[in-house]
Amino acid sequence: MLSWFADLLPVGSGAPAFLLPDQQGDVFVLNLNRNKNIVLVFYPADNTPVCTAQLCEMRDNWQKVRDKGALIVGINPGAADSHGGFRKKHDLPFPLLVDNGKRVAKMYHCDGIVVRRTVYVVGRDGKILFAKRGKPAVDEILAAIPEAAAK
């Protein structure tokens, strides 16, 4: 229960490595995405009003995030079939990861009675660039993501 009150992982610290399956069973490995900035959206549940609004805002800004060379992943302990239905219903272009047992939520200090709504941005170097509880504005998240390298 103490982790419910845990502070966020500090900006500048290394992001804990993890691998989790997505809604289709494909495995997402954080360390294999070091060439991208990763927006980790920890959210309590599929198909709830605030979670739906938050993830739909991410969907609506998907191209802006991609233009910055970033990838979004949603994370919660819900089942793959729930994630799949939620993703399809709201046309979410990013994976929803299944954190069975809230193992990754614990590593990122987002666990408790429910997963605490939290957004982290992990930089290309594996360091945390942004950390905030709640539902930060997409523009605030985008401001934390460095511009993509010239192609």
Catalytic residues: 51
Residue 118 burial by CB count (10 A; 0-12/13-18/19+): exposed, middle or buried?
Answer: buried
Name 80's Cβ contacts closer than 8 Å, sequence gap at least 6: 21, 22, 23, 24, 25, 98
Q: Residue 31 carries which DSSP code?
A: G
Hey, what are 80's tokens? Answer: 């793959």
Q: Which of 119, 108, 115, 41 is nearest to 78 (CA)?
A: 115
